């Protein structure tokens, strides 16, 4: 059974998109049945070009990526979510809609990352910040993919994801 992971950031334009791309890319490389999705509470309607560039430079096809609302994942047609991860502090502080999981509510955790869009140093500074953020996200996603997701109970999964967030 596929483990569906929803990654949230307010505008769904940078950190959540980097996370979706990295988790799907690494899951495919490792042969893991994990599918990432991203969304935002107030989607910007566009993906930051530096996020797309960082993913493309890592060999990830971004042609189907789009900025979307988290409302798409609270509808009856949405995939049954196992995990919901917030990656920006403002999204973590918001009241999320009700998401449905395969066994009740999904496990929710916060893995905060600074907004690479705020990096100084012009375009080159932003490129560096986006690449460093992509690498940091990739590190945590590899740790997530190393977990025995199909056999972990909810409490063990929550504890493991919190620990990954501290790394």
The domains located in the chain, with CATH, are 3-165 (3.40.50.2300)
Would you tell me the crossing angle of helices 122-145 and 154-166 to the nearest 10 degrees? 150
pLDDT in tens, 119-143: 999 999 999 999 999 999 999 999 9
pLDDT in tens, 34-87: 999 999 988 999 999 999 999 999 999 999 999 999 989 887 788 999 999 999
Give the residue from 103, 79, 97, 96 showing the smallest Cα distance to 158: 103
Residue 152 to residue 148: CA distance in whole angstroms: 6
- pLDDT of 43 reads 92
- pLDDT of 76 reads 77
Residue 19 to residue 165: CA distance in whole angstroms: 13
Q: Annotated active-site positions, please?
A: 9, 88, 96
pTM summary value: 0.93
* Beta strand segments in the chain, E: 3-8, 34-39, 81-86, 107-110
Residue-averaged pLDDT of the chain: 91
Angle 9-14-17 (CA atoms, 0-180°, nearest 5)? Answer: 80
- pLDDT of 99 reads 61
Is the per-residue pLDDT at 89 higher than 80? Answer: no
DSSP state of 96: P
Is the per-residue pLDDT at 96 higher than 60? Answer: no
């Amino acid at each position: 059974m596929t483990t569906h992971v929803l990654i949230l950031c307010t505008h769904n334009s940078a950190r959540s998109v980097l996370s979706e791309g990295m988790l799907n890319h690494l899951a495919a490389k490792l042969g893991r049945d994990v599918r990432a999705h991203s969304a935002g509470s107030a989607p910007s309607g566009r993906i930051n070009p530096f996020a797309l560039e960082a993913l493309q430079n890592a060999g990830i096809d971004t042609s189907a990526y789009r900025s979307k609302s988290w409302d798409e994942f609270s509808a009856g047609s949405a995939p049954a979510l196992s995990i919901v991860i917030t990656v920006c502090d403002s999204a973590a502080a918001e009241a999320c809609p009700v998401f449905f999981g395969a066994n009740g509510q999904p496990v929710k955790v916060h893995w905060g990352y600074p907004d690479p869009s705020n990096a100084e140093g012009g375009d080159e500074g932003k490129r560096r910040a986006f690449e460093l953020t992509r690498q940091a996200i990739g590190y945590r996603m590899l740790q997530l993919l190393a977990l025995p997701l199909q056999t972990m109970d909810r409490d063990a999964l929550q504890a493991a994801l919190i620990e990954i967030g501290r790394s």
